[in-house]
Structures are given as C-alpha cells and as structure tokens.
C-alpha cells in the first residue's frame, strides 16, 4: 500500500495557499494534493541545500574558468609567436630579394595599417593581390 511509510499530521495553511494547491496539483501530474505539497517541500529543501553549497561550488567554478582562460591564453601566445617567426622569415626573404626604398616602405606601412583597420584584421592572399594590382 502507498501509505505504509507515510505519517499523517495537522497542517495549518492559509485558504489561498490551499486554493493554489487545489488549482495546480494536476498541472504537475500529481495524483493528490498531498503529493503536490510533498514535492513542493522536497523542491524547497533542495533549494535551501543548494544555497548553502553555492559558497563551495562558486570558487570551484571560478578556478576552473580561470584555468581554462589561462590555458587558452598560453596556446594563443604560442601560436602568435610561431606566426611572428614565420612573418619574420618572409620579411627577411623579401628584403633580401627586393631593393625597396624607404619612402615606398613608409607608404606600404600606412596602406597596410589602413587596410587592416578597414577589414578588421581579416586579410586573405586574394585581397592582397587585388590591392597590389590597383
């Protein structure tokens, strides 16, 4: 029988609360108003327990996020370093092969800064070819 482990006790509630239970217990797929009240009490106890554990969980989440960000920062730093090395190699090869005067280099610098601002740092080889053909 379903009532084997249950106990009966007096419960004093406001008439509006009783009406709310009566109007809502079926929406929660409860078979009775007692089941609805028991589920509500269990839910509220879980809520209270969670409030106490926030002081434990919150620092753990913060530390996990910090560690993830630090790891991402380190990976990005290594990748940027590798890109800078490759760019340095290309720049030195181009400088060794071409004889470009200082004024052309300054104009190229200004043009590239403006272009990168305009395209928000996203540049492709095709875009560079098109710029050089202009």
Instruction: Give the tens place of pLDDT for each residue, 5-61.
Output: 888 889 999 999 999 999 999 999 999 999 999 999 998 988 888 777 766 677 778
Q: Are residues 94 and 122 in the same domain?
A: no
Kindly state the tokens that stand for 67: 């560690």
Q: Is residue 10 part of a domain?
A: no
| pLDDT for the residue 2 | 58
- pLDDT above 90 coverage of the chain, percent: 41
Contacts of 39 (CB under 8 A, 6+ apart): 28, 30
Average pLDDT, the chain: 86
- Where do runs of H (alpha helix) occur along the chain? 15-24, 33-97, 102-118, 125-133
Name the residue range of residue 19's domain: 15-99
Residue 77: pLDDT band with limits 50, 70, 90 = very high
Q: Are residues 56 and 67 in the same domain?
A: yes
| pLDDT for the residue 1 | 45
Q: Is residue 3 part of a domain?
A: no
Q: Is residue 132 part of a domain?
A: yes
Contacts of 22 (CB under 8 A, 6+ apart): 33
Q: Are residues 77 and 111 in the same domain?
A: no
| pLDDT for the residue 3 | 61
| pLDDT for the residue 34 | 92
The model carries a pTM of 0.44
Higher pLDDT, 124 or 64: 64
């Amino acid at each position: 029988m379903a009532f084997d482990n249950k106990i009966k006790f007096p419960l004093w509630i406001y008439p509006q609360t009783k009406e709310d239970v009566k109007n809502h217990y079926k929406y929660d797929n409860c078979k009775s108003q007692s089941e609805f009240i028991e589920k509500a009490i269990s839910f509220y106890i879980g809520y209270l327990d969670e409030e106490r554990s926030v002081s434990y969980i919150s620092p753990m989440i913060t530390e996990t996020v910090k560690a993830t960000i630090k790891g991402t920062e380190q990976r990005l730093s290594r990748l940027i370093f590798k890109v800078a090395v490759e760019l340095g190699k290309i720049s030195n090869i181009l400088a060794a092969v071409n004889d470009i005067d200082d004024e052309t280099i300054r104009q190229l610098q200004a043009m590239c800064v403006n272009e990168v601002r305009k395209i928000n740092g996203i540049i492709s080889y095709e875009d560079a070819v098109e710029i050089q053909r202009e």
